Chains A and B, each alone.
Chain A
């Protein structure tokens, strides 16, 4: 298993951490929807193998921030790099910020897996076809090899018997696990999860979270936007709290959930606990 930056920092007996290139570096991301600024210069760095969970009230900008990483959402200022390589915008030789061309953007996006709230599987393809489509058509992997890998991934998410099914025949939880396998099939360097359990029936949430937890345990670098506080507490290496288009507080989950430093987080967690206390 990968040693995460946080693991290393938390063990005083470890040798000094070797400063390594972050897997994700976002700096000064600013975005407006018309006159409304939804991201106010957000910077976020994620180390290789780190699982970062982003929480915060609706409209705080967390989903928008996630979608800016692979430019599904355009933004007016700031720069993103994945594993040191720019994605979306780059700074040219004269120091001017430029939007990537279609070819470069597509190539950069291959390294970023994203799972959506609404699954977004391709309805005209079987489960297996959904998973192998991009590896074959985008990366040029031979079909047999892509299918073998797809079957491994389906086994990992517990859907071995569904490879010939069409998405419409699957439950929401099953579709979401296929979506996870589809993203993983591109061997991304980082995985983004955008409120992936919000559209699911409560009894299907667990199976999806379990697959994500397994991924985190396997050392996948991931950013998870979620309202599932228990997932944040149990799986996150670091929790980021956003509000009003800014990161208000970040820290280790045990600190954030037991002793938040800001009133805003305390208030948010109290409201959450009041609502979900049994």
Chain B
């Protein structure tokens, strides 16, 4: 039964179609969360009520399962008449949770910058925007590339959970093929290999970005 060539030839194009959806979800989640996570991190770093809201948000989204959040978005919103498609619900849930994780990564990066860097910028007459865009954030970005790469890999794997809300990603395509063929082993092996290819590309990309942005070596 395993390694039935004819079966694989039919399976692979189907999985690749699912991979398109997976890649779309992962890339959109990353792009949105790179910005959203920074917004949350900066909100948390600003003293006042905004900081508590951001802190509470991070606690809640990090400490509940992605699948629960996904069901809440998918079924919850449709209950109040604002139903989103499976893809949109999955994307929203992925962004809600990973925005929290990304905020924590940025927070670590921001805290790793010495207060003396802020002083040096302010002493030169820099206002907040200039200080952050030319002094602080370039250093933060260089430092958070490794954890962001990790997070991107994690996001890519987490997209598999959208199969639970009927989005035809790699995982859902695999489940459908398993049901119709009963060939569990080949199908999930194929699915796993495609995920591995995707995450390998991200790892390599992260390495390259790390090298490009390295200034202190």
Collect the chain B residues with CB atoms within 8 Å of residue A271's CB: none
A62 contacts partner chain B, Cβ-Cβ < 8 Å = no
Q: Choose from B124, B139, B215, B216 the contact partner of A134 (Cβ within 8 Å).
A: B124
Closest partner residue, chain A, to B141 (CB atom): A124
- Surface stretch bound by A, among B14-22, B35-43, B83-91, B125-133: B125-133
A54 contacts partner chain B, Cβ-Cβ < 8 Å = no
Chain B residues within 8 Å of chain A by Cβ, number: 22
Closest partner residue, chain B, to A120 (CB atom): B120
A106 contacts partner chain B, Cβ-Cβ < 8 Å = yes
Inter-chain CA distance A112–B125, complex, in Å, is 9
Collect the chain A residues with CB atoms within 8 Å of residue B178's CB: none
A231 contacts partner chain B, Cβ-Cβ < 8 Å = no
> What's the dominant secondary structure at chain B's contact region?
helix
Assuming A118-B116, A122-B117, A123-B216, is B135 touching A109 (CB within 8 A)? no
B7 to chain A, nearest CB (A): 53
Inter-subunit contact A123/B139 (CB<8 Å): yes
Cβ contacts A118-146/B at 8 Å (1 or 0 each): 10111111000000011001110000000
Assuming A123-B215, A133-B134, A137-B134, is B128 touching A102 (CB within 8 A)? yes
Collect the chain B residues with CB atoms within 8 Å of residue A70's CB: 123
Closest partner residue, chain A, to B127 (CB atom): A106
Collect the chain B residues with CB atoms within 8 Å of residue A116's CB: 116, 119-120
Closest partner residue, chain A, to B113 (CB atom): A123
Inter-chain CA distance A166–B126, complex, in Å, is 21
Inter-subunit contact A182/B124 (CB<8 Å): yes
A39 contacts partner chain B, Cβ-Cβ < 8 Å = no
Q: Choose from A103, A109, A139 the contact partner of B123 (Cβ within 8 Å).
A: A109
Inter-subunit contact B215/A166 (CB<8 Å): yes
Collect the chain A residues with CB atoms within 8 Å of residue B121's CB: 122, 134
- The winner among B121, B124, B126, B139 for most chain A CB atoms within 10 A is B124
Inter-subunit contact A134/B125 (CB<8 Å): yes
Inter-subunit contact B116/A107 (CB<8 Å): no
Inter-chain CA distance A121–B123, complex, in Å, is 12
Collect the chain A residues with CB atoms within 8 Å of residue B120's CB: 116, 120-122
Closest partner residue, chain B, to A112 (CB atom): B123
A185 to chain B, nearest CB (A): 9
Inter-subunit contact A186/B215 (CB<8 Å): no
A83 to chain B, nearest CB (A): 15
Closest partner residue, chain B, to A111 (CB atom): B125
- The winner among B117, B120, B122, B139 for most chain A CB atoms within 10 A is B120
A163 contacts partner chain B, Cβ-Cβ < 8 Å = no
Which residues of chain B (101-152) have a CB below 8 Å from chain A? 114, 116-117, 119-128, 130, 134-135, 138-139, 142
Collect the chain B residues with CB atoms within 8 Å of residue A166's CB: 215-216
A261 to chain B, nearest CB (A): 35
Closest partner residue, chain B, to A182 (CB atom): B124
Collect the chain A residues with CB atoms within 8 Å of residue B122's CB: 72, 106, 109
Closest partner residue, chain A, to B119 (CB atom): A72
B197 to chain A, nearest CB (A): 33
Inter-subunit contact A109/B125 (CB<8 Å): yes
13 contacts between A and B (CB under 8 A): A103-B127, A106-B127, A109-B123, A113-B123, A114-B123, A122-B121, A122-B135, A124-B138, A133-B135, A134-B126, A137-B126, A138-B127, A139-B125
